[in-house]
């Protein structure tokens, strides 16, 4: 098997694909969260970014909340939340005493800006 994006290389560059879909706002925003992310494949990311512009014009309040809470927000594990509580209480928390793996700790530090 060949990946779909590689299988399309035999198509002429002037071939367009047209498709229609029906989606609710919840699932559309879920799609955009995944596909507008910096880790998404470039081609779908460009498409998703254009869709974000359309959605922000269509439902500005919902899109603003989406940007604040989903795109700009973070989800924490119970261990990470516990570490934040301990830090707020004045305790020095390290990877060794956090109960997190090294990978989890790196992700945690990225979220809290260390």
- By annotation, the residues acting in catalysis are 35
User: Could you give the CA distance from residue 52 to residue 46 in angstroms, rounded to a whole number?
Assistant: 10
CA distance to 2, 3, 36, 43, 85, per residue, from 73 (Å): 36, 32, 14, 24, 18
Going by C-beta distance under 8 Å and a sequence separation of 6 or more, which residues neighbour residue 47?
Answer: 35
Residue 114 tokens read as 């260390």
């Amino acid at each position: 098997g060949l990946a779909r994006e590689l299988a399309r290389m035999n198509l002429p560059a002037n071939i367009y694909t047209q498709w229609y879909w029906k989606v609710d706002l919840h699932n559309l925003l879920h799609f955009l969260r995944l596909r507008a992310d910096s880790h998404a494949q470039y081609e779908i990311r460009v498409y998703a970014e254009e869709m974000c512009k359309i959605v922000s014009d269509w439902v500005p309040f919902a899109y603003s909340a989406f940007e604040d809470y989903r795109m700009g927000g973070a989800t924490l594990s119970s261990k990470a939340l516990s570490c934040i509580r301990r830090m707020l209480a004045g305790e020095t928390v390290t990877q060794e005493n956090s109960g997190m793996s090294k990978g989890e700790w790196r992700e945690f530090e990225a979220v809290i800006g260390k």
